[in-house]
Structure 1
Amino acid sequence: MEFEEKVIDVEHIFDGHIVDLDVETVLTPEGQKATREIAYHANAVGVVIVSEDNKMLLVRQWRAPLRQETLEIIAGKLEPGENEASAVVRELNEEARLQAQSVEKLTSFYVSPGFTDEKLTLYHASGLSPVSEKLPQDEGEILNLEWLDIKEVQVAIAKGEICDAKTIMAVMLWQSLQ
C-alpha cells in the first residue's frame, strides 16, 4: 500500500523563536483531501549523565505548557549551523556548568512525528569536571540540578515529576545497562 501524501497547498501561519507553523492541504493516496498542521522545530540533543555512585543528573525546572515543575535530563535545541557535538558541550556548560572527557551517541528519535519534525539525539557524557568559563544560561531559565538514584527516579516518574519522553527514554536506557 502506498502511504505518501501529495502536498497541494501550504499556508505558512507563524514564525516563532521555537517553532514555525504551517497548515498543509494534502491529497491522500486514496484521493481524499486532508489538513496537516506541522510545527517545524530545530533538532535537539539530550545528555544522559550517571555518576560513579550510580545516580542520574536531572534538571528541575518550570515548564509553562504543563504548568508544573519537571525533572529532565540536560537538553536543548541546536542553534542555527551548530552540530550535535557542539550543542552537547554548550548544554552541559549552560545547564550544569560541566565539561565531559567523553561523549558517546546513544540513539536518535523523532519527538512527536504526528505534528513536528523535531529529532532528538541522546548522548552519554562521562569524565565530568567543572567548566573554567561559564556560558550564559538561556534568558528566564531557572534550573536546579538534582542527582537521583534509580529508586528516586522511579518515584519521580510515578509522581509525574519526570514526564517527558526524552527523560523516560534516558531512564530506560540507563536501566537496561545495569
Structure 2
Amino acid sequence: MGTLDEKFLDSKFVYDGRLLKVYSDRVLLPNGKESFREIVKHPGAVAVVPVLDNGDIVMVRQYRYPVGDTMLEIPAGKLDPGEAPETCVVRELAEETGYVSGHIRKLTAIYTTPGFSNEVIHIYLATNLVMTEQHTDEDEFINVETYSRKQLKEMVITGVIQDAKTIIGLLLADL
C-alpha cells in the first residue's frame, strides 16, 4: 500500500481576518498530480465542561451568526497568541460563566474540521466551582444555564444540542 501523504509545493495567502487566516496551498498528490487545498488557519481554542457540586453542568447559550441560531454549548474560547490552553481554559470559564474552578483536568484535544482547518480545541473538565462574576467580551451576549446530566443527554439524543465540541465534551465527562 502506497503513501497517502500530500507534498506541499507552495501557498497563496487569501484572507486575513480577526479570527482566522485563509490560504490556498498547491500540493503534489500521491499519484503525482497537482491539486489545491484551501486551508483555514485558526489559533486554536479551549472548551470546558463545568460540573457543579450537585452534578449539574453549567452551559452557555449564545447566538451563532454563521448558523443563524442560538446554540446551547459548553463554555469555550479562542487561544490568545502564545497562551497555553491551561491558562486559556481558566480565563474563558471565568469570563463566560463567572465560575472559577478548584480542579481542571484535560479530557482530550480534537481537530474540529480537518478537511479544511487546522483548528484544535482542547477540552477540559472543571470541578470544585466557585461563583465569582461573569466578564464577557463586549461583543459576546451569553446566558448561563445549568442542566442535569439526564437533561443534557436527552438534548443530545433529540438534536437540541448540535455543537460537536459540546457533544464530545459531555460524552467524555461521562454524561
Q: Report TM bin, short chain.
A: over 0.9
- Aligned position for 1:10: 11
Give 1:120 shift: 0.9
CA contact (8 A) 2:24 2:38 kept: yes
Give 1:53 shift: 2.3
> TM-score when scaled to structure 1?
0.91
> TM-score when scaled to structure 2?
0.92
In structure 2, the gaps of 5 or more residues are none
Q: Secondary structure at the match of 1:123?
A: strand
Q: Distance in 2 between matches of 1:141 and 1:172?
A: 26
In structure 1, the gaps of 5 or more residues are none
RMSD: 1.6
Q: Distance in 1 between matches of 2:139 and 2:43?
A: 20
Letter in 2 for 1:62: Y
Q: Mapping of 1:40-119 within 5 angstroms?
A: 40-119=41-120
Q: Secondary structure at the match of 1:101?
A: strand
Structure 1 runs of 4+ aligned residues shifted over 4 Å read none
Number of aligned residue pairs = 174
> How big is each residue's C-alpha offset from its partner over 1:29-88, in whole Å with a ceiling of 9 and x where there is no partner?
111111101000011111111223222111000000110000000111110111111101
CA contact (8 A) 1:9 1:24 kept: yes
CA contact (8 A) 1:69 1:161 kept: no
Does 2:167 match 1:162? Answer: no
Give 1:135 shift: 7.2
Give 1:158 shift: 4.4
Could you say if the C-alpha distance between residues 16 and 60 of structure 1 is closer, same or farther in structure 2, counting changes exceeding 3 Å? same
> How big is each residue's C-alpha offset from its partner over 1:116-166, in whole Å with a ceiling of 9 and x where there is no partner?
1111111111111123xx574223211011111133213333454311111
Letter in 2 for 1:113: P
